[in-house]
Chains A and B, each alone.
Chain A
């Protein structure tokens, strides 16, 4: 079971305001698909450019990342830099 933590704005737009969501998934891709089933449009929002933090590490290619039991997943705005 992974725990998804969302910022208020993202949650308002994509999960009906739900900010802490428990999801049974072993990969980030499965997690996103499950969330998209519950909240249609979620996967599209991710595909437009979001960075995923899994247990504190930022990943630009979240679909490939495995989740452990108790993993914490955060979706953040895409980051660039100078």
Chain B
């Protein structure tokens, strides 16, 4: 689908990715590739216990080991107060980030950092870790979210009192927060319902699974000037967090982004960077730190697991009248699960006049959860979309027709408050219904599931600079690490506005000292918000180019129009002026006012919500419980695809991760709360041979708040797969599994009941 007639020269075309050659030839520099003269190696001592009080840490023997240059513990970091303050885009408690980076007083999960060592080589650093004596007082632990919510559960934080309940509780709890959203009168709505489905569901924490582990180099100069090279989803986020954790002025801390080998939300916080800075400050040497895969699993954030209860009711004609969802998401060791967005997204696809969601943010002795594509939404969608599938079966309705009958559209009031702006959910359902996939016959033991999903998409603060070179080429500099193809998209948008060839625009990612503040790469915001900044910067340049042409032609700027990269006399001008190309104007820039550069910094609002509908065919082996995904189609409203190949890649990648979430992925803990599968061999993510080619359909309902109609696309595709797969399995096998993952042993057990 897409534009029937071409409106643009570059937008919507599949250009060669600017980072491709470096990556396929191994020349791209990721976090672990960076080296500096005199650089030493940092390693982290991690807790072997799920929950323990730190009675003492003796680092004397480690410090005395030859080759050891520095040892740090929590004592080397400011003891920050526990308070929620305004962060980059949302409230932050820096004490939690600090205590997660290095344990203070207590360890709260196996793998929690206790101390860090920097030494002349990795072997010495490893040897030094073994010399650090930590005296622990073991405490009872709790892994499961339901058990963590019990009144008699082991407490992780003695100062944590449940927020959002009146009166304020007298006793501390593992429930950090209760949140509620309400629309209409659910009790009255349910009273009118002729059919009601009510079910409970569970999902497991799953890791983002980025291939590149966390890695950084930090170098603190004698005057305190600090430079960090790291792989993250935001160099400004790294600067902000490290500056607060170590009490460094922003201007004394420069963060240079490396290439990033996957993030998916998991690199929106800091783990190693503050430790590396502290070690470098203490040793006077540049310090490199790289996590092992085991450390990534044990000490960096997965997304939350959840326990959900859904009730949804309708008239016999399929009109939804009421919905309720209660969800409890485990946050890991510190508060901050995505329970709120889970509550907000649960029913967002549908026009339900009476709805209520209640969410609980619950701490337990697991690594602190981190963002993962559309945080909180996939679990809620799994519950709601599974219940809807059962409702469709009970009503004898086609599941797409049921969704179409109730689909949110422009003007539908969302449970969380506002009315929907222009959206394309109905279009995705209609495209799914018309797709050949939906009408292909199935064989025995095969089933087809459908599910839909929603994500807000966000805007936020972004900056861009655009420099015109003497030969008419250009550099576009932005402040967002390129995870999903943003460099190509930025170059396309700049080329479109300037009217020059895509190949003449080189996109670069600036460090914190060379480009204006840009919030991190996440929330499906970069092509929208940073793209908007690029368009504004390019428009700034076009205005300057018109002014330079006017100066050359000795006329008013209004008498110059800019078209296809060339200055033309305005219509009606009949004198002998010739046209001036961008290259010609650039070549004479020194004589018309100096270099030509444009810039823009903005805080973008109006990010258009995104919706997707997925079709999934599976075959169930009744003897083993193994599920094979036979065919998968992702249909999504993408607003306008700037670079369609990258958009399709996001859709395919999100679906693949969601399929793994549905079928295989889970953390396995022993009775001591120790993770048993911290590696890709035992933590089974889908690989290419596990999946069919994932088909994509881009529906384009442009977002009017972006010059080219962009909507975020990176998060929506992970929302529907959990339910799409579960619904397909239910229809293939006749058995509905409401607890993820639907692994062979679990499905086989359900089949044998």
Contact = CB atoms under 8 A, between A and B. Distances in A.
Contacts of B629: none
B605 A65 contact: yes
A48 B86 contact: yes
Interface string B428-466: 000000000000000000000000000111111100000
A60 B85 contact: no
Contact of A79 (B181, B341, B417, B705): B341
B543 interface: no
A49 B418 contact: no
A65 B604 CA distance: 12
B607 interface: yes
A59 B606 contact: yes
A76 interface: yes
Contact of A12 (B87, B166, B341, B418): B166
Contact of A49 (B91, B180, B374): B91
A82 interface: yes
Interface string B75-87: 0000000001111
A80 B705 CA distance: 19
B344 interface: yes
Interface in A34-80: 47-49, 53, 55-61, 65, 72, 74-80
B412 to A, nearest CB: 10
Contacts of B459: 58, 60
B539 to A, nearest CB: 20
Given A9-B179, A57-B705, A80 B89 contact: yes
Contacts of A53: 417-418
B416 interface: yes
A5 interface: yes
Nearest to B705: A57
Given A58-B607, A77-B340, A82-B268, A48 B458 contact: no
Given A7-B180, A58-B458, A78 B417 contact: no
B607 to A, nearest CB: 6
A40 to B, nearest CB: 19
B264 interface: yes
Contacts of B268: 80, 82
A60 B602 CA distance: 11
Contacts of A77: 90, 179, 340, 344
A61 B86 CA distance: 13
B624 interface: no
Interface string B709-730: 0001011000000000000000
Contacts of B371: 80-82
B375 A72 contact: no
A81 B524 contact: yes
Contacts of A65: 605
B91 A78 contact: yes
A10 to B, nearest CB: 10
B425 to A, nearest CB: 14
B42 interface: no
Contact of A60 (B340, B416, B421, B605): B605
A47 B458 CA distance: 18
A interface, how many residues as a size bin?
20 to 34
B522 interface: yes
A25 to B, nearest CB: 18
B182 A7 contact: yes
Nearest to B166: A12
Interface in B56-92: 84-87, 89-91
B86 A74 contact: no
Given A9-B164, A48-B91, A57-B705, A79 B456 contact: yes
Interface in A1-28: 5-9, 12
A17 to B, nearest CB: 11
A80 B265 CA distance: 10
B182 A80 contact: no
B344 A76 contact: yes
A29 B91 CA distance: 20
B interface, how many residues as a size bin?
35 or more
B672 interface: no
Contacts of A81: 265, 371, 373-375, 455-458, 522-525, 712, 715
Nearest to B263: A82
Interface in B597-627: 603-607
Contacts of A6: 417
Interface in B151-187: 164, 166, 179-182
B94 interface: no
Contacts of B456: 58, 79, 81
A82 B304 CA distance: 13
Interface string B86-116: 1101110000000000000000000000000
A9 B373 CA distance: 26
Given A8-B182, A9-B179, A74-B417, A82 B91 contact: no
Nearest to A47: B86
Contact of B265 (A8, A61, A82): A82
Contact of B605 (A8, A48, A59): A59
B420 interface: yes
A17 B91 CA distance: 23
B419 interface: yes
B418 A78 contact: no
A82 B180 contact: no
Given A78-B90, A79-B90, A82-B715, A58 B375 contact: no
A9 B180 contact: yes
Interface in B487-530: 522-525
Contacts of B236: none
Q: Which of A5, A57, A76, A80 is most buried by chain B, counting CB atoms within 10 A of its CB?
A: A80
Contact of B603 (A47, A48, A60, A75): A60
B30 interface: no
Nearest to A64: B603
B264 A82 contact: yes
A55 B418 CA distance: 7
B417 A5 contact: yes
Given A9-B179, A59-B606, A60-B603, A80 B458 contact: yes
A55 B166 CA distance: 31
B632 interface: no
Interface string B363-393: 0000000011111000000000000000000
Contacts of B182: 7-8
A8 B164 CA distance: 11
B86 A49 contact: yes
Nearest to A53: B418
A16 B89 CA distance: 27
Contacts of A80: 89-90, 268, 371, 375, 458, 522-523
Contacts of B208: 82
A76 B417 contact: yes
B85 A48 contact: yes
B458 A61 contact: no
28 contacts: A7-B180, A8-B182, A9-B179, A48-B91, A49-B86, A57-B421, A57-B705, A58-B456, A58-B607, A60-B89, A60-B459, A60-B460, A60-B461, A60-B603, A72-B419, A74-B417, A78-B89, A79-B89, A79-B456, A79-B458, A80-B90, A80-B371, A80-B523, A81-B371, A81-B455, A81-B712, A82-B373, A82-B523
List the 9 closest A-B pairs by CB distance, nearest first: A82-B265, A81-B523, A74-B417, A78-B90, A59-B605, A53-B418, A82-B371, A49-B91, A61-B603
